[in-house]
Amino acid sequence: RLVLMSAGRNTTRWAPGSCRSAVGGTLLPSMRLGYVRRLSAAGSAQTTKRAPAGYYGPRLAVGAASIVGSVALYELVSTQLRQWMQPPEDKEMWREDWDRPPVAEAPTGGVATPAEAALLAAERLRLGADARVGHRHVVFVRHAQPEAGDSEGGSKHLTRKGMRQAELTGQRLQALFGSVGAIYHSGSGEAEATVKVLRGYMGKDCVVRESALFAEGLPTIPSPRPAALGDVSDEELLCDSSRAEGAFRALMWRPTGECPEKASVEVVVGHGNVIRYLTCRAVQLPPTAWSRLAAYHCAVTWLDLDCEGDVMLREFGGVGHLPPELVTYH
């Protein structure tokens, strides 16, 4: 119900209440009828007016897209703000879990994949080492200078310079360590010829073992990529990288330290690419940086691994034991 109430001297307004006029009378019939007609007309116009076909579809689509876009923008901004507010991860920090055992399972299909074969070889090589010591000295020696070309049987001989390089390197290792527990080498002719010379300086208890893990290859595509590298097939890269990973697992591990006063010495006679790659991996430099290093013939690289998990590069590519005329690269 509505009441016409006075809002001023000559003005009126509608308000809920009984049907009385502001001057004391009831609502006039003509006034009441006109007001009802106006309400009815307005209601009829609202109920009969309809949107044309296809009116709401595009507008709903635009609205939904706007909502989705707003949510995506919010997530993007929120993620960026979280990254700005949180301290960045320091990738230069030393990783404590750097050594992993070469867990290898027997191949199920009868033929081992390159990765499986490398881990099996690493496991066998690692089992022969003394893990109880407090320090492990892993010494890499690049092979001595070989003669140009292959001889019969696929082996190589050393040049006269190469023979002298190997002799002086054997003397250097003897002066540093006294005796060596094991010498590992690849199956190449130049590596075998170098080991034959070194063996006479390593002590009577030195064990010599050949392993395909230390064969030359391309452990990973280096950065920057040398122009002389050429095209490398995926199969070749898989084999070489699997072999390099096996070599790392076989050599780079912390001893238990049950006998902290003892130390072991293992010499690896191999090739430049593998030595440089394993050195980068051992000291947690980018593995792709191996091509930025260089090692001459019979250069000595010395890594010290202790039972606390620390790795110390005591020497890289050392040729101080060689006179200048015996320092060769090719």
Residue 32 CB burial class (10 angstroms; 0-12, 13-18, ≥19): middle
Q: Is 131 helix (H, G, I), strand (E, B) or coil?
A: coil
Q: Cis omega (within 30 of 0) on the bond before 52?
A: no
Domain assignments of the chain as residue spans, ordered by start: 2-42, 114-326
Q: Is 184 helix (H, G, I), strand (E, B) or coil?
A: strand
Bigger pLDDT: 101 vs 279: 279
Q: Is 194 helix (H, G, I), strand (E, B) or coil?
A: helix
- Cα 320 to chain centroid, rounded: 35
Q: Which helix (H) or strand (E) holds 242?
A: helix 234-251
Q: Which two tokens stand for residue 2?
A: 């509505």
Phi and psi at 268, nearest 5°, equal: -120, 115
The pLDDT of residue 21? 45
Q: Which tens digits make up the pLDDT trace of 243-300?
A: 999 999 999 999 999 999 999 999 999 999 999 999 999 999 999 999 999 999 999 9
The pLDDT of residue 112? 81
The pLDDT of residue 226? 85
Give residue for tokens 């001459």. Answer: 296
> How would DSSP label each residue in 7-52?
SSSS-EEEEES-SB-TTSSBPPHHHHHHHHHHHHHHHHHHHH--PP
Q: Which two tokens stand for residue 146?
A: 């070989």
Q: Which tens digits make up the pLDDT trace of 183-240?
A: 999 999 999 999 999 999 999 899 999 999 999 999 999 999 888 787 889 899 999 9
The pLDDT of residue 1? 41
Neighbours of 293 (CB within 10 A): 17
Distance CA 208, CA 183 (A): 5
Among candidate residues 222, 159, 146, 220, the one with its CA nearest the CA of residue 186: 146
Given a cut of 80, whether residue 172 has pLDDT beyond it is: yes
Please, which pLDDT band fits residue 178 given cuts at 50, 70 and 90?
very high
Contact (CB, 8 A) for 302 and 319: no
Q: Which two tokens stand for residue 71?
A: 């949510």
Give the relative orientation of helices 160-177 and 189-198 as an angle to the nearest 10 degrees: 50
- CATH T-level assignment (fold) for domain 114-326: Rossmann fold (3.40.50)
Contact (CB, 8 A) for 114 and 276: no
Contact (CB, 8 A) for 182 and 203: no
Distance CA 298, CA 330 (A): 12
Contact (CB, 8 A) for 187 and 155: no
Give residue 170's identity as a one-letter amino acid code: G
Dihedral, 266, 252, 185, 295 alpha carbons, nearest 10:
-100
Contact (CB, 8 A) for 250 and 220: no
Q: Which of 30-39, 114-123, 262-271 has the lowest mean pLDDT?
A: 30-39
Q: Which of 63-72, 94-103, 227-236 has the lowest mean pLDDT?
A: 63-72
Distance CA 95, CA 87 (A): 18
The percent of residues in the chain predicted with pLDDT above 70, rounded, is 68
